[in-house]
Structure formats: structure tokens, C-alpha cells
Amino acid sequence: MNRSTPLTALQVMQDAPVIPVIVLNDVAHAVPLARALLAGGIRMLEVTLRTPQALACIETIARDVPDAVVGAGTVRSKGDAQAAARAGAHFAVSPGYTRAVGQACRDVGLALLPGVATGGEIMAACEDGFTQLKFFPAVHAGGVAMLKAWAGPFYDVKFCPTGGITLQNAPDFLALPNVVCVGGSWLVPAGTAEQGDWGRVTRLASETEHLKKIAL
């Protein structure tokens, strides 16, 4: 992917039907994990800022796996956004929306998928110019029915539902016109990296191939 120009949030969402939500505890796992996901056809990778090693993992993937497009998840503050950009992230995902995070991502040139769970949060994000949003936690906060209800008043907003999404329920979400992709941790189950089971990660990523047809 040509990354001389900054990504847009829509480009982040349209690259694949699933954005993997990744938790890494060891920098040594970063490159093999990114390569395993790439081998399964997924290159847009969200590494969550939930562990002390997360920023180093982003830096390593950005440097050593040029075919991957690494982003930072769990961006909750201006400092997170700045650190993510310094580490080489190409996009950011936040669990909720604040103006400070929105502005910080703009300032450092990071495409942002802000998290929302209510109409008021969608309005706040839209007011600041963000219309491609993460719906989080999707299944717990109303799931498919909520997205159908939002399609009326928020006709110009596109969503990436995340939280409780599985290979089994992903098609129900991806079939909705206001859903571009979904996010989920199921592609990298807890412990997989520690076990070095990269083949499993590639298999799980490959299983999402058929979702492309539904997401179109």
C-alpha cells in the first residue's frame, strides 16, 4: 500500500472485512504475528495500547513488516495519540470519543475510528467531522438492531462494530448498509502468540475471506 499520503478512516475500514484487535505482551511476537495475519490475507492491524510492550510492538511491525498497515487501538488520550504516531502507527482506534482525542489524532496525522455507543456520542463525533465510527461494545450495546435504528437519523455515518463479534455473527453485521467492516479479537485468541501458534492465526484470518462478498 502506498503510504506516502495519510490514510483515511474509510480506507482503514474498507481494506478487509475484519480488523483484528490485537493484544501483545512480548515484542518478539510482533513480527511473526503480523506475518501470520498477512499470510491469511489481513494487513490492517490494530495493536491495542493495553500492555507495556504495545508501542514497541507497533514500532517493530511498522519497521519490519512493510506490507502490514499497523494502527494503535485503545487510544484514550492526546498522549496515546502522540505516542502511537511516534511509534509509526498509521491509524488509531478509540473505545469512546472525546474532542481531545479527535483533535490530537488530526494534529499528528492519524486517521481515527472513534468509538461510540449512543446517539449523543455519534452526534459529538459528527460535529467534529468524524463520520466513520467504531460501534463499541457492539453486541452488548444493541447489536444489529441498534445499527438498523441508527441508519435513519445517522444515514451518512458508517460503522465498524466491535465487541462480541465472531466469525459466526459477523455476516449479520456486514450485511447492513451502514457497516463497512467489523473488529474482533477472535483472530488472535489469548495465548496464541505465547504458544507460537502462527498457523492457527493464519487459518483464522483465512476464514474471513468469504466475508468479503457480504461486506461489498
The C-alpha atoms of residue 93 and residue 58 are separated, in whole angstroms, by 14
Which of 185, 192, 202, 208 is the binder for ligand 3PG (CB under 6 A)?
A: 185
In the region spanning residues 107 to 146, those forming contacts with ligand 3PG, defined by CB under 6 A, are: 136-137
CB-nearest residue to ligand 3PG? 185
**φ/ψ (deg, to 5) at 59:** -60, -45
Given the residues 46, 127, 207, 213, the one annotated as active site = 46
Dihedral of alpha carbons 70, 73, 77, 80, sign: negative
Binding range to ligand 3PG, per CB under 6 A, among 25-33, 82-90, 105-113, 159-167: 159-167
Binding range to ligand 3PG, per CB under 6 A, among 24-32, 77-85, 124-132, 184-192: 184-192
Q: In what order do the strands lie in the sheet with 115-116?
A: 115-116, 132-135, 158-161
46 labelled catalytic:
yes
Residue whose C-alpha cell is 453485521: 173
Binding range to ligand 3PG, per CB under 6 A, among 59-67, 77-85, 160-168, 192-200: 160-168
Residue 44 interacts with ligand 3PG (CB under 6 A)?
no
